[in-house]
């Protein structure tokens, strides 16, 4: 029987893909629950507490409700593009996570001969791949805005995509500074460069070497995902619901899912670039993915906390911040990093 | 495995490029062109040039095509009227006649070029596989092609300044 099975490496690779995909979907569900609970406690109330223990099954109830809703399409909407937009958003969101490493090499308890790294694929231009796939996600929003053939959608879509394009520059420049310090585009190498401690206590994270870069990256990441103070394009008080006004049922669920998975990807890349990825004390190296999950969870909590604490930027304030403050700061950060790297290295 | 991947990507690239010119709705043309760029990026990966593939997606499919998309949306180009198929190409308007002649010339040229394809000798030997493609490109850019690199950056600056000047509102 064993000779009819594919080689164990293929099974392990398929298993990795299965695990990563399901973890992303489950983390989106977890984010729905966490957002509602944290929002509730910030607003001095309890949040969902009926559907499971402390409302843990609420996201699943939401998905079942969305499944049973009627799928609407405006009569004058462009059918092909209307159906294609949520697909592009969701595919880009999931594909970007494929190059993020979440653990050291493991032999899966000795089942494999050669250890496999814990990521879906190990590319030596991983940072650029993430950047590329994130820029493809813009099409989902632009097409959703345009093909819905509605004023709110079009304005929301255009504003949202203009915002994403503007903040991509600072996003890339912040990443470029880390790449310069690490000397490599591979996320795995960037994380392994952060191993070790200064004075046996402080870990060698790039967060301590690049505090401005971390701040720029987080700001740009929050703006990229249309969240927290930068969510003018989908603010309910302004544009009904922006680019996903005309979507219902599973298409809306796909946009929802894409937004949360994008948040998870931005947090995962932030932990790999600045917080030392899967490295951490006390646990053996093959349990590194636990530290990875802890760090990603911290950044996601910060995201949710920011959303329900800060008022949102007006659109022109948002664009001014992105172009006149964040971009020059990112360029200065890059110059300073280059100077220091040349001086030391 | 890469054999089949090549045929898949090549098929997608050719079919989507051909479909670009045949669409009534210009937005569909733009999306099909993006699909062909994606297939080209896949072909670059198969040619062992991941950096070129990713740069193709970032620059071409991610930036230039967004520009195309915005321009098409801004111009609000209406759907094309279908041309009458019964008009013979030889008797049709001048545009059609010239187009037919040019496409025949193109087909002849492609057939001539494909019949002369041989195995090329590249300047780098197998020993360069240990250095990543990014480092190779970086080294070439800053040593052999340094002048072209600097000239291109001045060109981009000129384009940006020109765009700002053209789009600026008149100040009274």
Q: What is the pLDDT of residues A102-151, one digit of tens each?
A: 877 766 665 555 666 666 666 778 889 999 999 998 898 889 888 888 87
Nearest to B57 among A136, A165, A185 (CB): A136
The CA distance from B107 to A197, in Å, is 65
What's the number of domains chain B is made of? 2
Task: Give the single-character DSSP code of A198.
Answer: E
pLDDT at A113: 58
**Poorest-pLDDT segment among A223-232, A291-300, B144-153:** A223-232
The SS3 of residue A197 is strand
Burial of A39 (0-12, 13-18, 19+ CB in 10 A): middle
Residue B52's CATH number: 1.20.120.1200
pLDDT > 80? residue A330: yes
Show the domain range for A93: 2-344
Taking residues A205-233, what's their average pLDDT?
89
The CA distance from B95 to B75, in Å, is 24
pLDDT at B119: 59
User: Is the Cβ pair A139, B69 closer than 8 Å?
Assistant: yes
pLDDT > 70? residue A339: yes
Taking residues B13-38, what's their average pLDDT?
91
Kindly state the percentage of chain A with pLDDT values over 90: 37
User: Is the Cβ pair B66, A161 closer than 8 Å?
Assistant: yes
Contact A247, A255 (CB under 8 A): yes
**Poorest-pLDDT segment among A74-88, A102-116, A151-165, B16-30:** A102-116
Shortest Cα distance from A231 to chain B (angstroms)?
Answer: 21
Shortest Cα distance from A145 to chain B (angstroms)?
Answer: 11
Q: Is residue B60 part of a domain?
A: yes
Nearest to B54 among A125, A138, A146 (CB): A125
Choose from A76, A79, A125 for mutation: most chain B CBs within 10 A: A125
Mean pLDDT of chain B: 82
Q: Per residue in A139-173, is it b (16+ CB within 10 Å) or e — as a string?
A: bbbbbbbbbbbbebbbbbbbbbbbbbbbbbbbbbb
Q: Is residue B144 part of a domain?
A: yes
Kindly indicate the confidence band of residue B123, based on its pLDDT and cuts at 50, 70 and 90: very low
Residues of chain B with Cβ-Cβ distance to A161 below 8 Å are 66
The CA distance from A290 to A210, in Å, is 24
Cα A109 to chain centroid distance, Å, stands at 30
Residues of A with CB under 8 A from a CB of B: 78, 80-81, 84, 123-125, 128-129, 131-133, 135-136, 138-139, 142-143, 146-147, 161, 165, 185
pLDDT at A70: 83
What's the number of domains chain A is made of? 1
Burial of A191 (0-12, 13-18, 19+ CB in 10 A): buried
pLDDT > 70? residue B126: no
The SS3 of residue A202 is strand
Show the domain range for B48: 1-79
Taking residues A331-340, what's their average pLDDT?
94
Q: Is residue B155 part of a domain?
A: yes
Instruction: Please say which residue of B79, B114, B140 terminates a domain.
Output: B79
Q: Is residue B120 part of a domain?
A: no
The chain A residue lying nearest B32, using CA atoms, is: A81
pLDDT at B125: 47
The interface pTM score, or ipTM, of the predicted complex is: 0.84
How does pLDDT run across A307-327, given as a tens digit for each residue? 999 988 888 899 999 999 999
Q: Is residue B100 part of a domain?
A: no
pTM: predicted TM-score of the whole model, two decimal places = 0.86
Q: Higher model confidence: residue B83 or residue A68?
A: A68
Q: Higher model confidence: residue A34 or residue B117?
A: A34
Contact A39, A310 (CB under 8 A): no
Q: Is residue B150 part of a domain?
A: yes
Instruction: Please say which residue of B41, B63, B79 terminates a domain.
Output: B79
Q: Is residue B61 part of a domain?
A: yes
Q: Is residue B111 part of a domain?
A: no
């Amino acid at each position: 029987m064993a000779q009819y099975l594919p080689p164990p490496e293929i099974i392990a690779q398929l298993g990795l893909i299965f695990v990563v995909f399901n973890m992303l979907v489950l983390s989106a569900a977890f984010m729905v629950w966490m957002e509602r609970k944290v929002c509730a406690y910030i607003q001095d109330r309890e949040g969902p507490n009926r559907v499971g223990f402390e409302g843990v099954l609420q996201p699943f109830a939401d998905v079942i409700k969305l499944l049973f809703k009627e799928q609407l399409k405006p009569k004058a909407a462009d059918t092909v593009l209307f159906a294609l937009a949520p697909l592009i958003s969701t595919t880009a969101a999931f594909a970007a996570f494929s190059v993020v490493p979440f653990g050291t090499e493991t032999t899966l308890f000795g089942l494999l001969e050669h250890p496999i790294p814990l990521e879906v694929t190990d590319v030596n231009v991983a940072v650029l791949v993430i950047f590329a796939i994130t820029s493809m996600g813009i099409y989902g929003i632009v097409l959703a805005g345009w093909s819905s053939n509605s004023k709110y959608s079009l304005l929301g879509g255009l504003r949202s995509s203009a915002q994403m394009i503007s903040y991509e520059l600072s996003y890339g420049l912040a990443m470029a500074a880390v790449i310069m310090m690490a000397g490599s585009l591979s996320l795995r190498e960037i994380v392994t460069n952060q191993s070790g401690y200064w004075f046996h206590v402080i870990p060698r994270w790039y967060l301590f070497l690049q505090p401005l870069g971390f701040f720029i990256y987080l700001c740009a990441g929050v703006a990229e995902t249309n969240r927290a103070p930068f969510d003018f394009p989908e603010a309910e008080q302004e544009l009904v619901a922006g680019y996903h006004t005309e979507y219902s049922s599973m298409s809306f669920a796909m946009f929802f899912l894409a937004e949360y998975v994008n948040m998870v990807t931005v947090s995962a890349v932030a932990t790999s670039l600045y917080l030392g990825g899967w490295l951490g004390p006390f646990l053996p190296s093959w349990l590194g993915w636990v530290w990875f999950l802890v760090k990603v969870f911290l950044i996601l909590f910060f995201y949710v906390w920011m959303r329900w604490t800060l008022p949102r930027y007006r659109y022109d304030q948002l664009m001014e911040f992105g172009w006149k403050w964040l971009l020059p700061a990112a360029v200065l950060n890059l110059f300073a990093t280059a100077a220091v790297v040349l001086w030391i290295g | 495995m890469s054999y089949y991947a090549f045929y898949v990507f090549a098929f997608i690239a050719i079919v989507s490029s051909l479909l670009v010119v045949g669409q009534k709705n210009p937005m569909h043309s733009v999306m099909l062109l993006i699909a062909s760029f994606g297939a080209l990026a896949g072909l670059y990966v198969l040619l062992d040039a991941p950096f070129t593939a990713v740069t193709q997606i970032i620059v071409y499919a991610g930036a230039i095509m967004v520009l195309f998309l915005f321009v098409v949306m801004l111009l609000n180009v209406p759907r094309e009227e279908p041309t009458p198929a019964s008009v013979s190409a030889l008797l049709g308007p001048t545009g059609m006649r010239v187009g037919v002649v040019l496409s025949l010339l193109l087909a002849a040229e492609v057939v001539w070029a494909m019949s002369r394809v041989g195995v090329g000798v590249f300047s780098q030997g197998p020993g360069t596989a240990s250095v990543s493609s990014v480092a190779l490109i970086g080294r070439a850019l800053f040593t052999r092609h340094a002048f072209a690199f600097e000239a291109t950056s001045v060109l981009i600056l000129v384009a940006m300044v020109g765009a700002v000047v053209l789009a600026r509102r008149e100040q009274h």
